[in-house]
Structure 1
Amino acid sequence: MSDAARVEIDLHENAILPARNPEVTPFAEMSRLMMIGIDANQQNNLLWTAQTEPNGPWSGTWEAINKTSYIVLATGSTTDGRVALAAQTKSSPLAVHYIDEAAQGAGGEERWNEPISLGMPEGLAGFVQLEMVRDADGRIEIFGVDDSGGNVWWIYQNPPKIVDKTEQVTPPGSTTPITVHVQEAEPPDTPWSAWIALPGQTISRLTVSNDATGRITLIGTGQNPKAVEVYVISQSKGTSLATADWSGWTRIDNADSGTAGSRPTAVLDNEGAINIFMVGSQADVVQIRQQPSGGPGWSEWYRPGMTGKTLVNVTSAFAGNGQIVLVALDENLGLHANYQYDALFQQWSGWQQIGVAPDFGLTAMDYNADGSLTYFQGETKINGVKMISQVTMDSTSWTAGWTMLADNGIFTYGIVRDLTPPETS
């Protein structure tokens, strides 16, 4: 982990970007992409691999984080840009462990802090899913779906405590000290909250997002496999510490959208609104948008064009220009992209096929330090992961060949940006 400062540079209109020159980073941040996975071939250990530098190639090697066996994983980052993760142990004693990056060793060696056990909700036999996200205060919050009914559980880093202190100060021009009272923030007595159930709805899968204010919204799919309902619940204030600080679950699918044919994906547009996409009616992509931005309401359902194919999954991210990019997978492994040109007027490029995926499996998409997107495709048959990338930021062209990141063993993974990449000469 280096102490390199984050670099912010505004792009001028019609600016032309260099072709992946690692020495020139005209985009917003000096970061590298990292993949963390659980490897079934390595006793279910947590392994990681990453770009060797911002915009650089992937290392091609996987390294262990620790020697504990895990079964469920979530990834994220700390307020100061260090990679963080939460993972549930595979065997007794069952617990969710929180792990984050430590200072790098000599020669840039990646190191990890020891796991912090967050325990488990009392009587729970395990989670089927974990999600991690930062809240409006920058604190990490973790959500889990249990395996005994689909209840949603929540745990968070406690906020700092405010302590009243008295100090002796001498006013300017005086030699007589006076006593003043000040309030200072100190670490909380307990670093993490207890596990809290969010009542009112049972869920099969969760998607997490932040709105423009930083408050967290959860999108959950129901448990009816023949007609998968879609629900949302949002924090009602920035510092949410109890169930009363949430809106309550609201069902948002209807006859126009159809029920969910895929796990919803959510992304914030450059107007500050959460956008939710899923495979819905006609086995094609449907979209609903927060209205107003940061508010409690939702638009009617839209359709950002149709592919003419039977889709099975859609993944979203925002590109270097802040606009949304969608990548959808069809039943014959065709991969299709759609680029938003204007969020306010909902203008899209229209779908185009950009490739053929190697297999079905877990997908993800995130941006590189130069603003170009990389799409990750899991391969269920071999527990592998491959990727393709945009040629440059905001390009409609993608690499023709897939890059192999894992050829077997990785049955679940998360992608995260490391804002503390190793220093390069």
Structure 2
Amino acid sequence: MSQTRQIPGEHGDMIEIEVGETPFAELSRLMMVGISSDNNQLVWTAQIAPNGPWTGTLTPIDTGHAYIVLGTGSTLDGRVAMVAQTTGSPASVHYIDEAVEQAPGGGQRWNAPHDLGMPDGVAGFQQLVMGRGPSGRVEIFGVDADSGIVWWCYQNPLTTQKKTEWVTPPGTDTPIEVTVEVPAPPATLWSSWTGLSAGDVSRISLVNDASGRIMLIAMGQNPAQAQVHVNAQTELKSLTAGDWTGWERIDDATSGTAKSIPCGVLDDTGAINIFMVSSDNEVAQLRQTVPDEEGWSEWTKPGMTDTTLINVTSGFDGDGLIMLVAVAQDGGIWANLQTHVAGQRWNGWQKIATASGFGLAAMDYNSDGRLSYFLGASQNNSVSVISQTALNSTTWGAGWSQIASSGIFTYGIVRDLTPPDS
């Protein structure tokens, strides 16, 4: 009898695969969406085809607006989506996604912005994050730097309406009238903004638990001693602030406080793992003791680099095992692969590259399952990428490939499930 296990799916759910089966069968290409440092316009670039090279061209997304804050993600049906805050005053948050029908020749086409407004009394957000809950609805989170409050806005769930039809039952010639409940769009597409209780939050990251519910991981506002809190949805259909646990502090004396934005990822048992660069400049790890429950292990360290790390990014490889990539103050790029979940065994940190600058980091997988690691450089607003040489490899490409030589001051990496044919 074959063995199976569950791994995180594309739509925030868990998918079951046979052990040894590569869970990357989707036809997709990686895409970068960013804000131009020249004119604050939204731009994008992507792989020419699944697993292929990048176009090297930044193409504008013409909305008629300038933007300053960006979050990226995707819709339930796999279209690229983004949320961005306009410049100027009063600021407003816009939601933009790919059109269902693309332009002739496989070109990209975008829907017009949907204005989500701004919470009362909030002048602007310093961070926007996008995710999807258990049903696949897009959910958006904004961090207000002034109050330290995280605000939440989401696509309203579908409603139902009665539909009457005439059907002929099997074995008869006489139609009968049948009334059924069918899905229908909500009267209002988006909710209003809701504050997720008082907080002391400067930055957040998002992870889905094994049931698809969203957990937020927050870093406090004091840069010298940034506390770490989590806040998780308690319902599969969370619609009010009461459907969240509230902020729970998770750092302690053993972990120290955070020196980087904590990140979360599921392991192949469905447990959430949280990683951060802690106050000793090394990576610290916290793991759920049971998937979908609130208990946590003690803080641990997945090995030491004996360098001064400044950030860490987490993902998973083709076997569903956690991959960490961290940046050191001296420009070294370090990777560490988990080899056994139950035994919490790791391959050990290895230096895989040297960065020429520092900036926003991201990691995602290609259509064939190889991981790509992206790093921005704030001194020239460039973005570069290195990739695994093969599925599940601990070897990475020998050199960086620039996907934007300049012009990007913030960006997000997403997978486009509507790639060109070639």
Q: Is TM > 0.5 for Structure 1 vs Structure 2?
A: yes
CA distance in 2, matches of 1:399, 1:419: 25
Bigger Cα displacement from structure 2, 90-99 vs 116-125: 90-99
1:347 aligns with 345
1:51 aligns with 47
1:282 aligns with 280
CA distance in 2, matches of 1:322, 1:9: 11
Q: Structure 1 unaligned segments of length 5 or more: list them.
A: 1-7, 16-24
CA distance in 2, matches of 1:175, 1:28: 46
CA displacement, residues 374-393 of structure 1 (integer Å, 9 cap, x when unaligned): 11111011111111111111
- Say yes or no: does 1:301 pair with 2:295: no
- Say yes or no: does 1:169 pair with 2:167: yes
| Alpha-carbon contact 1:46-1:69 (below 8 Å) kept | yes
- Say yes or no: does 1:402 pair with 2:370: no
Helix, strand or coil at the partner of 1:71: strand
Shift of 1:344: 2.3
2:128 aligns with 130
Aligned-pair RMSD on alpha carbons?
2.0
Bigger Cα displacement from structure 2, 75-84 vs 342-351: 342-351
- Say yes or no: does 1:71 pair with 2:64: no
| Alpha-carbon contact 1:9-1:28 (below 8 Å) kept | no
2:376 aligns with 378
Shift of 1:12: 8.1
Amino acid at match of 2:72: T
CA displacement, residues 53-95 of structure 1 (integer Å, 9 cap, x when unaligned): 0000001111001142000000000111110000000124421
CA distance in 2, matches of 1:11, 1:106: 39
Amino acid at match of 1:163: Q
Helix, strand or coil at the partner of 1:255: coil
1:40 to 13, 37, 40: 37
1:87 to 68, 84, 97: 84
CA distance in 2, matches of 1:407, 1:224: 34
1:98 aligns with 95
CA displacement, residues 220-264 of structure 1 (integer Å, 9 cap, x when unaligned): 111122211000000001110001111111000001111001111
CA distance in 2, matches of 1:153, 1:10: 36
CA distance in 1, matches of 2:366, 2:194: 35
CA distance in 1, matches of 2:320, 2:163: 44
2:417 aligns with 419
State the identity as a percent: 56
| Alpha-carbon contact 1:26-1:370 (below 8 Å) kept | no
Shift of 1:171: 2.9
Helix, strand or coil at the partner of 1:337: strand
CA distance in 2, matches of 1:213, 1:11: 19
| Alpha-carbon contact 2:145-2:202 (below 8 Å) kept | no
| Alpha-carbon contact 2:387-2:396 (below 8 Å) kept | yes
1:146 to 138, 144, 151: 144
1:247 to 239, 245, 248: 245
2:56 aligns with 60
TM-score normalised by structure 1 residue count: 0.92
CA distance in 2, matches of 1:9, 1:392: 23
Shift of 1:164: 3.1
Shift of 1:35: 0.3
CA displacement, residues 243-289 of structure 1 (integer Å, 9 cap, x when unaligned): 11111110000011110011111111111111110011421111011
CA displacement, residues 27-46 of structure 1 (integer Å, 9 cap, x when unaligned): 422110000110111x1000
TM-score normalised by structure 2 residue count: 0.93
Helix, strand or coil at the partner of 1:244: helix
CA distance in 2, matches of 1:95, 1:151: 17
Amino acid at match of 2:159: K
2:7 aligns with none
Helix, strand or coil at the partner of 1:181: strand
2:255 aligns with 257
2:179 to 178, 181, 192: 181
1:20 aligns with none
Shift of 1:216: 0.2
| Alpha-carbon contact 1:320-1:371 (below 8 Å) kept | yes
| Alpha-carbon contact 2:332-2:351 (below 8 Å) kept | yes
